[in-house]
Structure 1
Amino acid sequence: MTDQPDQPYEGYDPYGQQRQTPQAWPYQQGYQGQQGHQGYDDPYAAQQYTQQWQGQTWETQTHAQVPAAEETAYLPPQGYEVPPPAAAEVAGASASASSSEYGPATLAGNARLTEAQRARAEGRSPIIEPGLQPAALTALLGLLLAGAAAVGTYALLVPLVVLQAVTAAGWFRLNGMWPARQGIALGFAGALVADVALLVSDRSTSAILGTLGVWVLLALVLQLRSHADPDERMYGLMATVAASALAIVAGGYLAAEADAVTVGAIGVAVAILARAVPLPTTASVVVALLAGAGAGVAAGALTDVGTSGALLGAGAAACALIGHRVASYDYPSRFVHFTAGVALPLAAAAPVVYVLGRALV
């Protein structure tokens, strides 16, 4: 024991901080004022002038400021459970129909329905026809084919290549497969190969058949190398083969007689325009067939086809209406209407134009 005078207890300072003036002790007063607990005594109040700190306090030096409540991330409320939906709510949510692409989401986890599936479930038709604007584009492309055929074979290649490209793209989009660049490119490449083969073989139909067989085998090999699910691979195979076949078969305009192409393309153009007139379906189909036959007669009078143009125009119009019907299936989008809706009527009419043209001209 030493005989030294009592000294105030200064506490343990583990950080070796220096002393500072009493004004550097704002933490305790600010904390007590923010908490609002005035009834509690401060055990260190008597030492506020003896236990003094210099520099920044430990709290302000080592702790970052807590952000405001509105700046922090949202935390969902806890402590309770969401009650399961009532049966009436689930049934009502699943049966309501909306104008969006898919049906409303349900708490029960029901699968979303497309507009076509909902239309079938409600007894409505999933058919939406392309309308007047795509029909006008089909008529324009048909007239270009007719005029180019009258000029020459190489002039016919320009609108024919456009028709084949739009056919391949439209078929993939019609099947809900977009973007499908590989399939579209493969189908269009097959059409180009068929066109070159037709020109080299002096417009022999064996060029179309040979290219079609090779492209079916090529599509099969590519799909077998795919790592997708078996169902998806089969669906992609069917879409690729169909798109390639339609684009290649459209090359029948290049193999057909020039006068037959002129008559058939004009018959398709007039028939599709007549089909776009707002009439009942049965009446519209009859009017379109009659219009195609009449256009065939008029175009046949300007060529060597003669009155046989009525049969050629009516046959081309019938095939064009089938292509038009296919492009209207399953609630197609506007893009489908301006691709498949434009190209399929002309592509579907190409075989009939070739066959009837060989028989009648």
Structure 2
Amino acid sequence: MTNQPYQGPYDGQYDAYDPYGQQQAPAQQGWQGYEDPQAAQQYTQQWQGQTWETQVQAPASAAETAYLPQQGYEPYAAPLPPETPAPEPAWTPPAAPAPAPEESGYGPATLGGNARVTDAQRARQEGRSPIIEPGMQPAALTALLGLLLSGTAAIGTYALLVPLVVLQAVTAAGWFRLNGMWPARQGIALAFAGALTADVALLVAGRAPSAILGTLGVWVLLALVLQLRSHADPDERMYGLMATVASAALSIVAAGYLAAEADAVTVGAAAVAVALLARALPLPTPASVIVSLLAAAGAGIAVGGMTDVGPEGALLGAAAAICALIGHRVASYDYPSRFVHFTAGVALPLAAAAPAVYVLGRALG
């Protein structure tokens, strides 16, 4: 075999019918110029002939076939100016922390409530004693109210009626708040109405104790009827009944100041005021109780000497102080809030001392 191209009898006979003759001619010339097999292998797969695609494509628009600039090279851009480092900020010493405000245990008033934990909630979470004493401020308010009772009792019955009504109102509200029932408007209104009824009955009956006992019995029956008409759960109704009866009883019993002798009220209320101030001193509980009883006895002697009670005022003052300390202890129980301290913590000591003032006042008079 020879490497010469085929020179058959049909060479050139179909040139006129080759529509791609002009495009195939360079390819034939390119292959004829290399006789070396190695040279032919060096230029393999460099086809320049026409190919056909097997899939039909839509004809390209003129915008797609327009000349596009050569890509792959970034256009010439002017060099960027040299970067200058930004000036570093001058170092300033950290500001001293502002002094923390005094911890009062209560945050500022907000519309949506305050998430700050109170002293009572913190004590409950930590499992500490449920006894939280009111402190000096409620004791000062109790002393002020006691001095008002003592002073107005020396003036007259109707003068005594003014601080007594305040005491009864605070007692009715404080007992419900102490039991966790707030606002309890119906129960507070019922207890306060019973106290006012007892006051009016005492003024009409001439300080007869039957006015207090009769009012107390009627109001217990009224509270029972109202709770039976309630649609709450049985446990809740029983709890509300007990709170209503206790609140009404304390508020009505406080009217004993109006039924007692004027001199006994003067001595007993003054002794309670001194005892509560002494109890609020920062002393251990046993020492504080002893100091408060001694102070109340001394106040009874001092004030009794200015009235017809005389030295027996020491006994009256000590008895009134014992009842007042019991009320103070009750107002300190079961993690009370600050609102409880300023309601029940103020009123319960004076309300609890009213029976002792009445009984001993009659006995010593």
The aligned counterpart of 2:248 is 244
Q: Distance in 1 between matches of 2:150 and 2:224?
A: 35
The aligned counterpart of 2:272 is 268
Q: Distance in 1 between matches of 2:179 and 2:129?
A: 18
Q: Distance in 1 between matches of 2:134 and 2:225?
A: 35
The aligned counterpart of 1:329 is 333
SS of residue matched to 1:177: coil
2:296 counterpart (285, 292, 299)? 292
State the Cα distance separating 1:139 from its structure 2 match: 0.4
Q: Distance in 1 between matches of 2:144 and 2:207?
A: 25
Q: Distance in 2 between matches of 1:118 and 1:264?
A: 39
Which structure has the larger Rg? 2
Q: Distance in 2 between matches of 1:101 and 1:310?
A: 40
Do the aligned partners of 1:116 and 1:330 also contact (CA within 8 Å) in 2?
no
Do the aligned partners of 1:171 and 1:340 also contact (CA within 8 Å) in 2?
yes
Q: Distance in 1 between matches of 2:201 and 2:141?
A: 28
SS of residue matched to 2:272: helix
1:162 counterpart (163, 166, 179)? 166
1:217 counterpart (216, 221, 224)? 221
1:187 counterpart (187, 191, 199)? 191
Match status 1:100 vs 2:117: yes
Do the aligned partners of 1:115 and 1:331 also contact (CA within 8 Å) in 2?
no
Q: Distance in 2 between matches of 1:100 and 1:214?
A: 42
Amino acid at match of 1:235: Y
Amino acid at match of 1:266: A
Amino acid at match of 1:131: G
2:358 counterpart (341, 354, 358)? 354
What's the C-alpha RMSD, in Å, of the aligned pairs? 2.1
Do the aligned partners of 1:198 and 1:208 also contact (CA within 8 Å) in 2?
yes
Match status 1:341 vs 2:345: yes
Q: Distance in 1 between matches of 2:294 and 2:193?
A: 36
Match status 1:138 vs 2:138: no
**TM-score, with structure 2 as normaliser:** 0.67
State the Cα distance separating 1:147 from its structure 2 match: 0.6
Q: Percent identity?
A: 82
Q: Distance in 2 between matches of 1:326 and 1:256?
A: 24
Q: Distance in 1 between matches of 2:324 and 2:359?
A: 15
For residues 263 and 101 of structure 1, do their structure 2 counterparts lie closer, same or farther at Cα, with a shift above 3 Å needed?
closer
Q: Distance in 2 between matches of 1:117 and 1:236?
A: 24
The aligned counterpart of 2:13 is none
The aligned counterpart of 2:261 is 257
State the Cα distance separating 1:100 from its structure 2 match: 3.1
Structure 2: gaps of 5 or more residues: 1-57, 62-114
1:171 counterpart (154, 157, 175)? 175
For residues 318 and 222 of structure 1, do their structure 2 counterparts lie closer, same or farther at Cα, with a shift above 3 Å needed?
same
Do the aligned partners of 2:124 and 2:335 also contact (CA within 8 Å) in 1?
no
Match status 1:279 vs 2:279: no
Do the aligned partners of 2:171 and 2:343 also contact (CA within 8 Å) in 1?
yes
The aligned counterpart of 2:153 is 149
State the Cα distance separating 1:160 from its structure 2 match: 0.2
Match status 1:226 vs 2:243: no
Amino acid at match of 2:327: G
Q: Distance in 1 between matches of 2:334 and 2:350?
A: 21
Aligned residues: 255
CA shift digits 1:299-345 (9 cap, x unpaired): 00000000000000000000000010111111111111111000000
Q: Distance in 1 between matches of 2:335 and 2:307?
A: 40
Q: Distance in 2 between matches of 1:181 and 1:275?
A: 32
